[in-house]
């Protein structure tokens, strides 16, 4: 995936973990730890994403180790699947490359009372209705518009702002990570260009790997946890994968430009300029955090409006109200974000800046930040696969708190660049291949399906098995797609 190769050594620690020793390169303050089985390790053995894990280990104030989940692949600065925590009290930094361009890209799952037998006869109509209702594709504008004042309020208040305006149910907020709002968001730190880009894109899907899928629960691994989440075999669900659209991209782009000379100002020597950063407690670090948090709140509102549009589509096709259809949210998780969270470091509690770049929060049973209804089973962890395979619901486990800063993987992980995927699709119809697998797909253009074809990704079953058996997150249910819309 990366244009360069990793020339170092991967040392096996146990069945699921591999180490890049901090002696690998000058400047590494901690080891790099990668979660993978033999199959996945072979896929990344010489990929430059491993060098990115080592580069992150050079960040000032980094604690314990630089981590990568089993869906690791090459990204900007951090690898995708990267996790790192820094201690602000010891010069710890915040790095936009550890969050990514699509701030708070995340996943939302909605269950229903419908079964596959109920939906199959109307599946094509349903997917076409969703495609018409939910704007998707590069630059696509939504039907929901916000003026400048409203947009700033939305970025300050998060999901509650749009729910109060009729886009969804109050209960949705209860099962959104952080109740759909990061405190400390400062919309006044967001540029005019970012506001301009965000004004008409809230409630839109975007392009790339973003999607809305109609899925069927086809296997339950943990009956108790599935029961708590209201999931059962044969049940139809909707999964939404999207983020902060052009607004978040612009916030990241602005921040990278503004921080370009900051490391030198603070005497920070970086192995990769894409890791541009600032001390968390600095004026520059706080400015990025405030803007990033505002963009994250925008992303939660984006998914909230799309959930409302999905419910409206089901209502139209099945001629029943969403509550009658049982269309309740299971959970919503972020996977491109940085948060201040307390962890035990050497026997003392430290408030760390945890970067999750293509990684999902995975808090264990009993954690106070889990919605009360899920506290007995652990935080739901939503892992989308590719269009032709499965997606998963897991729950966080104790191992995540002790070993991965409360984090798990976020998806399958690419093994083929988008350019290579398009090349591979030449002379084929990915839409027809998906239909042969029982998946009806709609896309704004052929390229979207070509780039995101199943062959472009690792097998999500392998990725999920690693985090399950490593004790980070436990498998609860598996869903297979039957319909998808993409940009």
Residues 6 or more apart whose Cβ sits within 8 Å of residue 437: 388
Rounded to 5°, angle at Cα 259 from 258 and 264: 135
Coil vs helix vs strand at 69: strand
3-state secondary structure of 173: helix
What CA–CA distance (Å, rounded) separates 1 from 416?
6
Contact indicator for 340, 353 with CB cutoff of 8 Å:
yes
Cβ(313)–Cβ(126) below 8 Å:
yes
Distance (Å) of CA 457 to CA 66, 219, 389: 23, 22, 10
Distance CA 467, CA 242 (A): 23
Query: Residue 31 and residue 146: Cα distance in Å, rounded?
Result: 46
- Structure tokens of 256? 């990278």
Distance CA 473, CA 362 (A): 7
Asked whether 123 and 266 are in contact (CB, 8 A), the reply is no
Task: Dump the DSSP string for 381-396.
Answer: EEE---TTS-EEEEEE
What is the C-alpha to C-alpha distance for residues 331 and 390, in angstroms, rounded to an integer?
A: 18
With 0-12 / 13-18 / 19 or more C-beta atoms within 10 angstroms meaning exposed / middle / buried, residue 193 is middle
The torsion angles phi and psi of 290, rounded to 5 degrees, stand at: -65, -40
Specify whether the CB–CB gap between 118 and 337 falls below 8 A.
no
Q: Are 53 and 68 in contact (CB under 8 A)?
A: yes
DSSP string for 309-322 = HHHHHHHHHHTS-T
Radius of gyration of the chain (CA): 21
Say how far apart CA 106 and CA 419 lie, in whole Å.
Answer: 24
- The three-class DSSP label of residue 46 is coil
Q: CA of 305: how far to CAs of 89, 142, 189, 481, in Å? A: 38, 10, 24, 22
Q: What is the DSSP letter of 419?
A: H
Strands 211-220 and 235-242 come out as: antiparallel
Catalytic residues: 410
Q: Are 478 and 219 in contact (CB under 8 A)?
A: yes
């Amino acid at each position: 995936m990366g244009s360069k190769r990793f020339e170092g050594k991967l040392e096996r620690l146990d069945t699921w973990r591999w180490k890049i020793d901090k002696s690998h390169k000058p400047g590494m303050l901690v080891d790099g730890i990668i979660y993978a089985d033999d199959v996945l390790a072979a896929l990344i053995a010489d990929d430059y994403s491993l060098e990115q894990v080592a580069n992150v280990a050079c960040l000032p104030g980094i604690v314990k180790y630089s981590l990568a989940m089993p869906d690791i692949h090459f990204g900007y600065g951090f690898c995708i699947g990267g996790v790192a925590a820094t201690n602000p009290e010891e010069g710890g930094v915040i790095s936009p490359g550890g969050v990514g361009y699509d701030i708070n890209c995340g996943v939302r799952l909605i269950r229903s009372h419908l079964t596959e037998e109920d939906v199959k006869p109307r599946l094509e109509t349903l997917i076409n209705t969703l495609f018409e209702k939910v704007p998707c594709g590069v630059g696509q504008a939504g039907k929901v518009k916000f003026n400048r004042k409203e947009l700033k309020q939305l970025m300050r208040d998060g999901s509650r702002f749009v729910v109060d305006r009729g886009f969804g149910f109050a209960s949705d907020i209860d099962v959104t990570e952080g109740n759909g709002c990061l405190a400390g968001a400062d919309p006044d730190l967001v540029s005019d260009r970012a506001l301009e880009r965000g004004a008409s894109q809230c409630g839109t899907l975007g392009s790339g790997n973003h999607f809305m899928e109609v899925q069927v629960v086809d296997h339950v691994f943990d009956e108790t946890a599935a029961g708590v989440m209201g999931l059962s075999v044969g049940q139809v669900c909707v999964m939404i994968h999207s983020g902060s659209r052009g607004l978040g991209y612009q916030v990241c782009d602005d921040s990278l430009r503004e921080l370009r000379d900051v490391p030198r100002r603070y005497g920070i020597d970086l192995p990769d300029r894409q890791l541009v950063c600032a001390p968390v407690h600095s004026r520059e670090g706080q400015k990025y955090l405030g803007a990033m948090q505002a963009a994250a709140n925008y992303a939660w509102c984006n998914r909230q409006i799309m959930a409302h549009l999905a419910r409206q589509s089901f209502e139209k096709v099945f001629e029943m109200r969403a509550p009658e259809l049982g269309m309740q949210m299971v959970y919503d998780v972020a996977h491109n974000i940085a948060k201040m969270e307390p962890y035990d470091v050497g026997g003392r509690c430290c408030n760390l800046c945890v970067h999750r770049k293509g990684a999902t929060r995975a808090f264990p049973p009993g954690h106070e930040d889990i919605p009360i209804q899920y506290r007995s089973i652990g935080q739901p962890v939503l892992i989308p696969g590719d269009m032709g395979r499965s997606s998963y619901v897991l729950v966080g486990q104790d191992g995540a708190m002790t070993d991965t800063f409360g984090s798990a993987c976020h998806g399958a992980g690419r093994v083929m660049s988008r350019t290579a995927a398009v090349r591979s699709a030449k002379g084929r119809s990915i839409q027809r291949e998906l239909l042969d697998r029982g998946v009806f797909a709609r896309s704004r253009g052929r390229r979207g399906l070509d780039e995101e074809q199943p062959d472009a990704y690792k097998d999500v079953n392998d990725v999920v098995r690693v985090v399950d058996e490593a004790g980070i997150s436990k498998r609860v249910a598996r869903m297979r797609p039957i319909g998808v819309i993409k940009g």
